[in-house]
Structure 1
Amino acid sequence: MISNLRGIRSIYGFEMARFGRTFWTSLMLPVITTTLYFVVFGSAIGSRMSSVSDVPYGAFIVPGLMMLTMFTESISNASFGIYMPKWTGTIYEMLSAPLSPLEMVIAYVGAAATKSVIIGTIIFATAHLFVDVEVAHPLFMVGFMLLMAVTFCLFGFIIGIWAQSFEQLQVIPLLVVYPLTFLGGAFYSLSMLPPAWQAVTLFNPVVYLISGFRWTFFGQGDVGIGVSMGAVAFFLTLCLCVIFWMFRTGYRLKN
């Protein structure tokens, strides 16, 4: 039950204020990165491959590019947000305050998801400088983006509790999330792969997330939209269960 709205607003406001202090840096980084991706993938590869499934290649990579950045931003913001109180020792004050675990998760994950959605929107706007992108299902697109931001912020929250050093905060995003995203059809369609590799790629969970988001843009994806939504719901539920277990046992929170 949520009863301490003031506590939620305080943590949320503190996290957003920290984001505001580095806003221009946070703004320029995705713009520059998006520009470089379009120069490399959109121009170099797009000049040789004009379209994918009747979609111009420049527009085809926009959903994957947005997901790639939102995955990393969500994990980074949420993990850093909860890790800092652990590192400074102020986590014990929050655990002893009249703030439930649910309220703490809502505050930290809500702030991280807000940042991630802002970055995703900036990338979407930047993409229009290079290609014309039409969204077939705008409401589904916004809903899917919010759902993905919350899900991966929960995943980042778990990493922030698990990590015992700043180096460990980077292990999962760099060694797991980034490779899975690049191999998950962010910049190509699975139909372009040999049949054997298509079967192997279906074991990559990121495939279902990117495919679902691409469906909201073009009305088509590598897997069915129902399967994609089911994969997101499963991952969201799994993250919530892990966080519940961490707070209940005090895993790396109370020692």
Structure 2
Amino acid sequence: MSDRAETGRAASPVPGPLTPWQYVQNALYYLHVALATVVLGLLGIPALLRHGREGANRVATRWIGYMLWAARLHLGVTCEIRGTPPTEDCIVAAKHQCFLDILVIAHALPRRAFIMKREVMRVPIMGWYAWKVGCIPIDRAKGRDAMRAISGEINRRLAGEGLGQLIIYPEGTRTKPGERRPYKHGVSTIRAGTGLPVVPVAVNTGLFWPRKGWGIRPGRAVVEFLPVVPAEVPQEGFIPRLEAEVETHSDRLMAEAGFRQPILAA
């Protein structure tokens, strides 16, 4: 489970190359969490059926916390949250380097939901809970039309039971430490269509947990919730402002952890 610490506290230095035993630990971790996903998912079905989204959220919180605990147990990966995670309806626009930042961000939010590919939401057990906690499927082939449809769905929820904290990855994919990709305009379109505040999030998680999830290194990963992008920032200036905030703070977090490589081209 995530550990809170003072904002000025540095993350652990980047460890050296993995040992053979660490590769074994990686395998044990994935075996452990696969079994735990099946068990917790099945045991949580009564709460899912009885309490709807709130029940699904409780099960998801327990599952995510277990995944983070197992990462500490098997892999020596701990997590630090900085800043103040939002509790109101909002968009959370985060740097995305690996599966670990998904877990840490989601665990810090009380009513988390994601915009995710339709295919992921068809996965047994995980997909059931994704639907129930309020994740919104996206058809990437439809481009801006998909974003406008999502804005309409968000407004429908805001008029009803509320949205929660909708997590979006503006780069559209996981990136290696130091890599930068142009930010997509989907988050800007949703902001304009809903009027929701946007909370940027910086991470250094990719220094410890690779994009493809194999070869995980021990260390202290940091996720930092940054101040809300002011509502008065105009639409044409929003993406540059968001990108500058997330990338600058992510670079700082990676530098604290010992990352010294030059920035990679997209």
Rg larger for: 1
What's the TM-score bracket when you normalise by the shorter of the two chains?
under 0.3
TM-score by length of 2: 0.26
Of Structure 1 and Structure 2, the greater strand share is in 2
TM-score by length of 1: 0.27
